[in-house]
Amino acid sequence: MQRPSHVANIEQTRLKFFLDEPDYAYGMDPKAFHETIKTEYPSLNSTTYLDHAASTPPPRSTLISFAEQATNNLYSNPHSRSSSSTATLLEIERCRGRILEELFGLTDPSARGQWDVVFTSGATAALKLVGEAFPWANSHSKYIYLKQSHTSLVGVRGCALAHGAVVSTCNVTEMPGLEHPEADSTLFGYAAQCNATGSRLGLGYCQQLKERHPTSFVLLDASAYLSTAVLDLASVPTEYAPDFIACSFYKIVGYPTGLGCLVVKRTSGAILQRNGYFGGGTIDSISVSSPEWSRPRRSLLPGPIHERFEDGTLPFLNIIALNCALETHRRLFKSQRHISKHVSALLRFATRELALLTHENSRPVVKQHQAFASLEEPGPTIGFSILDPASEYVGHTNLEQLATVNGFHIRTGGLCNTGVLASTFNISDDDLQREYNRGRSCWDDEEFGGIGTDYKYPLGMARISFGACSTIDDVLQWLSFLRRYFVVSDKITSLLEPVKQPSISASLKGLMLYPIKSCGGQPVGRWEIVSTGLRYDREWMLVDAATGKTLSQKRYPRMALIRPTVVPEDRVLIISAPQRPDLCLPLDTSDEHVTAANICSDVVPVTSVNIDIDEWFTAFLGMPCCLRRLSSSARRHAHFDRATGAVPILLSNESPFLLISQPSVDQVSDWIHESNDIEIHADCFRANFLLGGGTASLPPFVEDTVDLLRIGSETFQVLARCRRCLMVCVDQNTGCRMKEPFSCLARKRKSPQGKIEFGVHLMWREDLSTGSLPTICVGDPVTFVSLRENNG
Ligand SMILES: *Cc1c(COP(=O)(O)O)cnc(C)c1O
């Protein structure tokens, strides 16, 4: 048996790792370390969290010590003069010192004196502060940023451009700015660590910039770097250090959120200017009757820079929580430097093991990306793509969905770093513009761009990242997940070979329509066929009352329990749901009150139904939503390139009809039962047509091999196989989400392009049909025509 030897192997690997990497686990023995993690992070017990670069969870002790400190002591607004106010002020000042000491390596108090900490709501706010306060002076000033920067750093260019400054980008390998004469004021922006790939430039790159451009200013985005490292300002001469450094604390200690800071070199602070706004805390004196004059804080006397930029009341309890968090981290993990070593050990292991994963044909499974050559040992973040046996990219959404149902937390997509995405996959600005024009945005589920052009490229990558509480088991779990789902052996490939079965007969076993998109289905016996699908199929939908976006079962699985029934004889649509009175709507309505709704990337004209009805849905789903009917003026088309021309659809996502077969469902069921006893039903695939055996039994997946089929007197053409997502995991009878059948499909039904497929999309071929009244009926005989077979 495979399993016991595999388990023994994990045990062995874990132990060997402990012996090989003495810096792992903060000097604790394996048992004590795992106990600590278990008690401090109970929420991680049944999952594998690999997204520390996005945010790291807080340890239990941080929350407990903060609760105790904030309840046993009185803290109050630091602008007052009471003893509670003074106590608060002391905590705040202690926190500033502690940040410089523990996160920036400034153990010497006089060295700390050269820096100031300005509290902000996060790294983005700190970057924005510099963007707004930098003395941009028309074309005499310049903002130059590293191409592979986080969007929040790129955004500074908006401020620069607004003031007429010159903006350009640079690469690590080409030192910037030499081709231009030195501007009056130049600001360079880069990240100490790339948030997408972990590549590091640290403080070294700043030194290179400053050596070459001594009068320029450097804005360092240290948010990713600081989460597991010390940005050691004591290690470089102050003139070579950055002038402004931005970070967020939740990335380092998990809690508090909403707090970050800008660390400012005191000698550079004076150039930052307040523009326009002032507020409580940042003003010394103002005129009252006319807006004639105002004297901002510290406009005359030099003093702490933070006094000029911290508008209003500081989030003082958050700052006290940060003190508790830093203290807890020190108690649990010794120091930020120990955390660094701990995660480095994990990174080395993960990088090596991922590189060793190969398909049966010896080609690699994982391609690890590098934004640029690291100047230091990289941070514990791996940006990567999965490759298929032909070394083609597997889509990142596919990976993410599978990871999600299997209890992994990872990040995929553009990772807020378009520069890395573009340089990794060779995407040009024109390409990005074209994708945007066709409705694509950086957070959607699209996996590939450039479709229909010479160059098809991924629109996202995947990222795993480690933090202070990551363990070797997290890495081992991830590796075994990849082995299970993405390493392709010959056995899986053979399953994808189409079954060649001529002249088999079948019959229509089930017919289902879905009047309201993403709600429950209505089983019917005989039904009318129109070019957009079954008559009334997906003519209505629910939209988010706030955004106008379509609601889907993927987000709101309870939608499965809403059961619409079209009764054509009575010209009504009846809608029922558990513990709700039935609704009855007329089928014949006029096209009044047309508004717009968003479906996928289309904006479509819809009509509202009525407000009382919206309340019925809102109460049932527990979120404000409205029922909309597609306007008769709407024109939508399936996104399939087909010689047959455009295929009209109503509100379905892809095509007019979806077909599956019972033998295929049974086969998936059998596969699932090899490892567990979860029961699935054909209805989770939300097909319109369910085929069953006719005179002979039908082989599974016969639908994959067919081009044309006739049901009764009507002919349908297969458009494409249906790509599956997590939606198949919603139990249509309970409205609950399960792990199957997605996990099973992902292992057994993945195409060589990495798509998880089940069932086929169809269009109606009216020209090849013979019925005078186009209807089909459960029990109708089904015949198949496979054109491919004729072509050999
Ligand atoms: C997370 C991150 C940011 C943004 O931080 P916020 O806390 O969202 O403001 C900016 N840059 C990098 C490199 C990051 O990792």
What number of other Cβ atoms are within 10 A of residue 128's Cβ?
Answer: 20
178 DSSP 8-state letter: T
Atom 5 in ligand 1: which residue has the minimum CA distance? 123
Q: Name which residue sits closest to atom 15 of ligand 1, judged by CA.
A: 224
The pLDDT tens digits of the residues spanning 551-578 come to 999 889 999 999 999 999 999 999 999 9
Among 162, 213, 219, which residue's Cα sits nearest to residue 188? 219
pLDDT confidence of residue 756: 87
Q: Cα dist. 611→381, 595, 618, 625 in Å?
A: 49, 14, 10, 10
Task: Tell me how far apart the alpha carbons of residues 654 and 723 are, in angstroms, rounded to a whole number.
Answer: 10
- pLDDT value of position 444: 67
Report which residue type is found at 325: A
| Residues facing 288 on adjacent strands | none
Structure-derived torsion over alpha carbons of residues 468, 474, 476, 481, reported in degrees to the nearest 10: -150
CB of 122 shorter than 6 A to ligand 1: yes
Asked if 416 is an active-site residue, the reply is yes
CATH: 3.40.640.10, 3.90.550.10, 3.90.70.10, 3.20.20.70. Which one for 73-328?
3.40.640.10
At residue 209, the pLDDT reads: 92
Sign of CA dihedral 45, 49, 53, 55: negative
Find out whether 424 and 461 touch, Cβ atoms under 8 Å. yes
Q: In the numeric block, which tokens belong to residue 589?
A: 């309505």
Q: What is the pLDDT of residue 649?
A: 86
Query: CA-to-CA distance for 263 and 609, rounded, in angstroms?
Result: 55
Among residues 684, 759, 688, 677, which one has the least CA distance to residue 727? 684
Q: What was the pLDDT predicted at 72?
A: 97
Ligand 1: centre distance to CA 676 (Å): 41
Residue 250 alpha carbon, nearest atom of ligand 1: 7
β-bridge pairing 757-764 and 657-661: antiparallel
Place of tokens 């995947």: 462
Residue 136 CA to ligand 1 center (angstroms) comes to 24
Whose alpha carbon is nearest atom 1 of ligand 1? Answer: 223
Q: What is the pLDDT of residue 495?
A: 40
Work out which ligand 1 atom sits closest to the CA atom of 53: 15
Kindly report the number of other CB atoms within 10 A of residue 212's CB atom: 12
Q: Does the beta carbon of 248 lie inside 6 Å of ligand 1?
A: yes
CATH number belonging to domain 652-791: 2.40.33
Cα of 242 from ligand 1 centre, angstroms:
18
In the chain, domain spans:
4-52+336-485, 73-328, 512-637, 652-791
Neighbours of 330 (CB within 10 A): 14
Residue 160: strand, helix, or coil: helix
How many whole angstroms separate alpha carbon 610 and alpha carbon 613?
Answer: 5
223 C-beta closer than 6 A to ligand 1: yes
Closest CA to 143 of 134, 462, 375, 9: 134
Atom of ligand 1 nearest to the CA of 248: 7
Cα angle: 218, vertex 222, 227; to 5 degrees: 170
Cα(22) to centroid of ligand 1, in Å? 31
**Among 622, 687, 684, 700, residue whose Cα is nearest residue 660:** 687
The fold for domain 4-52+336-485 equals Aspartate Aminotransferase, domain 1 (3.90.1150)
CA pair distance 475, 406, nearest whole angstrom: 14
Question: What is the spatial distance between Cα 47 and Cα 608, in angstroms, rounded to a whole number?
Answer: 42
Nearest-CA neighbor of 17 among 479, 691, 483?
479
Residue 279 CA to ligand 1 center (angstroms) comes to 26
Closest CA to 530 of 516, 517, 513, 542: 513
- Ligand 1 centroid to Cα of residue 195, in Å, is 8
- For ligand 1, is residue 195 a contact (CB within 6 Å)? yes
CB 446 within 8 A of CB 440: yes
Dig out the tokens for 406 from the structure.
Answer: 């299997």
Strands (E), 411-559: 411-413, 448-449, 457-458, 461-465, 505-513, 522-523, 526-530, 533-534, 540-544
Of 159, 261, 324, 416, the catalytic one is 416
- Identify any residues that bridge with 762 across adjacent strands, giving them in sequence order: 657, 718
Output the six-digit token pair for 51: 């997204």
- Which residues make Cβ contacts (< 8 Å) with residue 74, sequence separation at least 6? 84, 87
On the CB side of 317, CA atoms within 13 Å amount to 12
Q: Is residue 224 in contact with ligand 1, taking CB distance under 6 Å?
A: yes
Whole-number pLDDT of residue 350:
97
* φ, ψ dihedrals at 52, nearest 5°: -65, -25
Which residues of the chain, if any, have pLDDT below 70? 1-8, 177-183, 299-302, 440-444, 489-504, 601, 639-645, 694-696, 753, 786-792
Give the ligand 1 atom nearest the CA of 122.
Answer: 9
Phi-psi sector, 732: left (phi>0), alpha (psi -120 to 50), beta: alpha
Q: How far is it, in rounded angstroms, from Cα 10 to Cα 243? A: 47
User: Would the CB of 242 count as within 6 Å of ligand 1?
Assistant: no
For the chain, the farthest-separated pair of C-alpha atoms sits apart, in whole angstroms, at 95
609, HSE (Cβ side, Cα atoms, 13 Å):
25
Phi and psi torsions of 39, nearest 5°: -80, -35
Residue 191 alpha carbon, nearest atom of ligand 1: 13
Cβ atoms 765, 709 nearer than 8 A = no
Burial class from Cβ neighbours inside 10 Å (0-12, 13-18, 19+) for residue 201 reads buried
Gap between the Cα atoms of 653 and 517, Å rounded: 9
Token pair, residue 255, equals 């809690």
